[in-house]
Structure 1
């Protein structure tokens, strides 16, 4: 009797290769929060992107849209909090920058810079984490919601990712600075 194990192993290992750096998401990858999104009082709405996951690395992109009537300046890093299913704070280390999590992915590790958004324009940022569980003494960390505050003193907005943010036992997540979308 022939065993199919070697062929199955080849298929499983084929999915474990990485083709190179993952590019910054394009605006076409965004997913609207609702069919008719509202515009917060500060004129800045956060929209969730599609995200990506491979070999334990998780990346979730999001966009900041100037839905107001006046130009808006953004600079630096968005404020990020993880929330559980009851919308309580999940205690994790939020890193400014993704280098510690992703390594040298240039688009995600650019330094902050001021960007002026005209009405209708957008910028993007990502959160990145590793789903690694290497501490059996600590329970795995999961979050159901992502709270983003676009600017200091801005309106915090809660987003619902397609799946939980599964940090394993790492207890940390990196956030990139706001970056312009090329070709805007």
Structure 2
């Protein structure tokens, strides 16, 4: 009687050790990438948001250039704004104006990009442009996914508060630090 009671826990422990880790599925990793906010800065109306992409697919992800970014309002409708490469004339920020370099992101690895804008409101004839979500793709023409920016370390939602400027700059992909 003692042997069967000991055998079950031993078999259970042995089977737990040989179970393969779960592999990403189309529902848990629909585009092969997961996004997170890893930094945010705001000074004198200039805003910078650092985004990290994690390759949740099974194959290396090759990036070169800039992600595709569309800013969405609270109803997930696109805002009518200009999105440009680099600092886009918003401010001189060297990291945004660096030449894009190829980046290979292995499964589980990461790369970073950033968004740059000014929260300036000088045109009172229209409401300020405020984004609550981002539609992101690793590059133009690639599959997109909607991402809601949340402050790191348990913070709340982050808004893309463009004021009346209507301009957003995008940093090229770089390897994660």
User: 1:64, 1:122 within 8 Å by CA — same for their partners in 2?
Assistant: yes
1:138-157 superposed matches below 5 A: 138-157=126-145
Whether 1:59 aligns to 2:48 is yes
User: 1:48, 1:159 within 8 Å by CA — same for their partners in 2?
Assistant: no
Unaligned runs of 5+ in 2: 1-26, 150-156
Whether 1:74 aligns to 2:76 is no
Q: Distance in 1 between matches of 2:36 and 2:142?
A: 15
In structure 1, the residue matched to 2:106 is 118
Q: In the TM superposition, what is the alpha-carbon distance from 1:144 to its structure 2 partner? A: 1.1
Unaligned runs of 5+ in 1: 1-36
Q: Give the RMSD, CA atoms, in angstroms.
A: 1.8
In structure 2, the residue matched to 1:50 is 39
Partner SS state of residue 29, structure 2: coil
In structure 2, the residue matched to 1:38 is 28
Q: Point out the more displaced range, 50-59 or 73-82.
A: 50-59
TM-score by length of 2: 0.74
Larger Rg, first or second structure (1 or 2): 2
> Over residues 23-69 of structure 1, what are the superposed CA-to-partner deviations in whole Å (9 max), with x where a residue is unaligned?
xxxxxxxxxxxxxx9322x4222223231211101111111111112
Partner SS state of residue 47, structure 1: strand
Q: Distance in 1 between matches of 2:163 and 2:82?
A: 13
Runs of 4+ in 1 over 6 A off after TM superposition: none
